[in-house]
Chains A and B, each alone.
Chain A
Amino acid sequence: MSASTPIVERGTRASRVGLLLAALLLLAAIAAPWWAERSSQRLFTEFLYTLALAQMWNLLAGYGGLLSVGQQGFVGLGGYCLVVLGLQAGLNPFFIVPLAGVVAALVAIPAAAVLFRLRGAYFAVGTWVVAEVLRLLVANTASVGGGSGTSITRTVSGIPAWWRESTTLWLALTLGAGATLAVYFLLRSRYGLALTAVRDSEPAAESLGISVARVKWFAYLASAAGCGMAGALIFITKLRIAPEAAFSMDWTATMFFVVIIGGIGTIEGPIVGTLIFFLLREFLSDYGSGYLIVLGTVAVAFMLWLPRGVWGLLASRFDLHFFPVQRRLRNQALKEEK
């Protein structure tokens, strides 16, 4: 018997094709202001920030095992950064986007300190309470428009329309692709391994020397920052902000649909999920509330019968991994014998 060392593989053929495809798509998207119509640019922007939100939720729920139903709190917070830093302090709205991430992460620190006293299901509802507290605080602050909100058109009024639209798209691209890549590289690192270990079994992870609390804390802060940045960008495109819309449960509901339908705990899942989400919306948006009923039913059905989502199904059936985060062992000797 020949002693052979198995080879550790981290890439797959699909991942190399995927990388090429992703690079081409990225280039096409960057160039969109020169070839796409304004309406499709807006659609791309929306697609990309939805993807960013979904990746952030997936990072928490799919990889960290932390279910949050309060991510809308950070989306709203990011949106309101436009009011405080843009309308009131006069900063360029596009600079506010990264700042909103910082603000959201800073707010997430005390929130985490309280919420991590709750576990599992209780953590989930606790995140919702925090989001509500943020909403009520904003709604009770008259200087940011109070309950009825305010227009933020003035923050972008000095910027030529073409630049405004293009920069919005590029920022959305940075967030959407950035969130995907950030999760990808995070998971390939030792921190990612720690995160998934914590999700799978906290005691086991702890016994291997992982600081469970710190890993969760980091995932929560990172997700808050991502949602905050996306929130600022979203309200640059909407130009009007009110607490009901900014802190709407719909943001988290959207992340939930996208990730569940696409495939929770995979990086490709949110991408596939966002595509399906936009397709469904295209076909069903005429039905108003009926559309949300259909989406909810589809998500529940997936949870019950296809808990790994569309991508989970495809990945296991065709062994397809565009963003492989796992390590695979290939035994050289075995292959040669064949």
Chain B
Amino acid sequence: MAEWLNTLLQGLLLGGLYSLFATGLALSFGVMRMINIAHGDFAILAAFVAIAVVEPLGLNPFVVLLLIVPLMGGFGYLLQRLILNRTLGQDILPPLLVTFGFGIIIQNLLLVMFSADTRSLDIGALGTASVALGGDVAVGVLPLIVMAVAVAVLAGLQWLFAATPLGRAFRAASDDSEAAQLMGIDNRHIYALAMAIAMAIVAIAGVFLAIRANIAPTDGPARLLYAFEAVIIGGLGSLWGTLAGGIILGVAQAIGLKADPGWGILAGHLAFLAVLVIRPNGLFARTRER
């Protein structure tokens, strides 16, 4: 019994990490109506940059976030402003194909620079510390921190969208980009800012991933798929839905993994397909696709 409770808790907290991955994806879809196929690859890129900085300088991985997050944010702004904005339009293929190309470039760039070996970020004792909850049930401190960060990021985004002029501009550009432009909103800038925020969150997700697990240069696509599944399970346009989606995915994977080591990821995919069959719009859908 305690064993299963532990599994459930692990899956639930894993959902925090998945939600971090999913939030950036949901944001870029929500505002620009585009999917960044290289989303996961950018997370892995951020993680490898963190590893490259931490190892020679001996920094704490949490400190390195202060460097990586603004770096990836700025990179995201430029990426959207200089390249991805050119691909937006009626046709949905160009942004997909361009980001797909970026994914291939990033994976192979990382392979050249870091080889195919798996790497990770070491945070010492914190990595294995856990809090006992009575009985044989315990939760890891690190997964708890990740979950807290995920909740904080979502709360921050909700505040941004609901209460700030920038959030209003995001919503306006999302609802009707032409009307927004008529009202004096510079869509190119707004889109670039949205991508900057998405990339900043992706950087957090990537660094946490590298703290939790070993990563390899070609891990990006799998991360994109989990993020995507969390977004769809949660429902398009629902911020907190991505957290719910992440948790459902995490729990499904944890249960599958417990049943058979080979079935963990598969169970997550199957849960996603099941939701798609039962509730095609996800559990908490708010926006409709145009």
Interface residues of chain A, those whose CB is within 8 Å of chain B, are 61, 65, 67, 69, 114, 117-122, 124-126, 128-129, 132-133, 136-137, 139-140, 147, 249, 253, 256, 260, 264, 288-290, 292-293, 295-297, 299-300, 303-304, 307
Verify B265–A296 contact, CB threshold 8 A.
no
Taking CB as reference atom, which chain B residue is nearest A140?
A: B262
Verify A125–B37 contact, CB threshold 8 A.
yes
- Knowing A125-B37, A303-B97 touch, does A296 contact B269 (C-beta < 8 A)? no
A292–B37 CA distance with the chains assembled, in angstroms: 17
13 further contact pairs, Cβ within 8 A, besides A124-B96, A292-B108: A118-B276, A121-B92, A121-B95, A136-B266, A140-B262, A140-B263, A140-B266, A147-B262, A249-B221, A293-B109, A296-B105, A304-B87, A304-B98
Q: Is the CB of B104 closer than 8 A to any CB of chain A? A: yes
A68–B71 CA distance with the chains assembled, in angstroms: 32
Q: What residues of A have a CB within 8 angstroms of the CB of B87 in the complex?
A: 303-304
Q: Is the CB of B289 closer than 8 A to any CB of chain A? A: yes
Taking CB as reference atom, which chain A residue is nearest B111?
A: A289
User: Which of the residues B98, B262, B272 comes within 8 Å of A129, measured between beta carbons?
Assistant: B272
A307–B95 CA distance with the chains assembled, in angstroms: 12
Taking CB as reference atom, which chain A residue is nearest B35?
A: A121
Q: Is the CB of B277 closer than 8 A to any CB of chain A? A: yes
Verify A67–B97 contact, CB threshold 8 A.
yes
Q: What residues of A have a CB within 8 angstroms of the CB of B260 in the complex?
A: 140
Within 8 A of A (CB), among B173-212: none
Q: What residues of A have a CB within 8 angstroms of the CB of B273 in the complex?
A: 114, 129, 133
Q: How far is the CB of B47 from chain A (nearest CB, A)?
A: 18
A133–B269 CA distance with the chains assembled, in angstroms: 7
Within 8 A of A (CB), among B26-57: 29, 34-35, 37
> Quick check: which of B13-21, B160-168, B222-230 contacts chain A, the rest being far away?
B222-230
Q: What residues of B have a CB within 8 angstroms of the CB of A289 in the complex?
A: 108-109, 111-112
A119–B35 CA distance with the chains assembled, in angstroms: 12
Q: Is the CB of B286 closer than 8 A to any CB of chain A? A: no
Verify B101–A118 contact, CB threshold 8 A.
no
B260-290 to A contact mask, C-beta < 8 Å, 1/0:
1011011001101100110010000000010
Q: What residues of A have a CB within 8 angstroms of the CB of B35 in the complex?
A: 121-122, 124-125
Verify A133–B266 contact, CB threshold 8 A.
yes
Q: How far is the CB of B267 from chain A (nearest CB, A)?
A: 10
Q: What residues of B have a CB within 8 angstroms of the CB of A122 in the complex?
A: 35, 228, 232, 289
Verify B270–A300 contact, CB threshold 8 A.
no
Verify A67–B93 contact, CB threshold 8 A.
yes
Q: What residues of B have a CB within 8 angstroms of the CB of A293 in the complex?
A: 104-105, 108-109, 112
Taking CB as reference atom, which chain B residue is nearest A142?
A: B262
A147–B260 CA distance with the chains assembled, in angstroms: 14
Q: What residues of B have a CB within 8 angstroms of the CB of A121 in the complex?
A: 29, 34-35, 92, 95-96
Verify A303–B101 contact, CB threshold 8 A.
yes
User: Which of the residues A120, A129, A288, A297 comes within 8 Å of B92, measured between beta carbons?
Assistant: A120
Verify A303–B98 contact, CB threshold 8 A.
yes
Verify A290–B277 contact, CB threshold 8 A.
no
Q: Is the CB of B83 closer than 8 A to any CB of chain A? A: yes
Q: How far is the CB of A63 from chain B (nearest CB, A)?
A: 12
Q: How far is the CB of B223 from chain A (nearest CB, A)?
A: 12
Q: How far is the CB of A290 from chain B (nearest CB, A)?
A: 6
Q: What residues of B have a CB within 8 angstroms of the CB of A133 in the complex?
A: 266, 269-270, 273
Task: Specify which of A69, A129, A295 lies most central, judged by the most chain B CB atoms within 10 Å of its CB.
Answer: A129
Q: What residues of B have a CB within 8 angstroms of the CB of A307 in the complex?
A: 94
A288–B108 CA distance with the chains assembled, in angstroms: 9
Verify B94–A303 contact, CB threshold 8 A.
yes
Q: How far is the CB of A200 from chain B (nearest CB, A)?
A: 10
Task: Specify which of B97, B229, B262 lies most central, judged by the most chain A CB atoms within 10 Å of its CB.
Answer: B97
- Knowing A290-B108, A295-B104 touch, does A128 contact B221 (C-beta < 8 A)? yes
Could you jot down 15 A-B contacts, CB within 8 Å? A65-B92, A65-B93, A67-B92, A67-B93, A124-B35, A128-B221, A129-B228, A129-B229, A129-B272, A136-B269, A147-B262, A290-B112, A292-B107, A293-B104, A296-B102
Within 8 A of A (CB), among B65-109: 83, 86-87, 92-98, 100-102, 104-105, 107-109
A137–B273 CA distance with the chains assembled, in angstroms: 14
- Knowing A125-B228, A128-B221, A300-B101 touch, does A117 contact B96 (C-beta < 8 A)? no
A69–B101 CA distance with the chains assembled, in angstroms: 12
A122–B228 CA distance with the chains assembled, in angstroms: 8
A300–B38 CA distance with the chains assembled, in angstroms: 13
Q: What residues of A have a CB within 8 angstroms of the CB of B108 in the complex?
A: 289-290, 292-293, 296
Verify B225–A296 contact, CB threshold 8 A.
no
Verify B101–A136 contact, CB threshold 8 A.
no
Verify B93–A132 contact, CB threshold 8 A.
no
Verify B34–A136 contact, CB threshold 8 A.
no
In order of increasing CB-CB distance, the 4 nearest A-B pairs are: A300-B101, A121-B35, A296-B105, A296-B104
Taking CB as reference atom, which chain A residue is nearest B279?
A: A117
Q: What residues of A have a CB within 8 angstroms of the CB of B92 in the complex?
A: 65, 67, 120-121
Q: How far is the CB of A328 from chain B (nearest CB, A)?
A: 24
Taking CB as reference atom, which chain A residue is nearest B272?
A: A129
A324–B107 CA distance with the chains assembled, in angstroms: 38
Q: What residues of A have a CB within 8 angstroms of the CB of B95 in the complex?
A: 121
Verify A304–B83 contact, CB threshold 8 A.
yes
A126–B277 CA distance with the chains assembled, in angstroms: 12
User: Which of the residues B96, B105, B280 comes within 8 Å of A297, measured between beta carbons?
Assistant: B105
Q: How far is the CB of A139 from chain B (nearest CB, A)?
A: 7
Q: What residues of B have a CB within 8 angstroms of the CB of A249 in the complex?
A: 221
A129–B233 CA distance with the chains assembled, in angstroms: 13
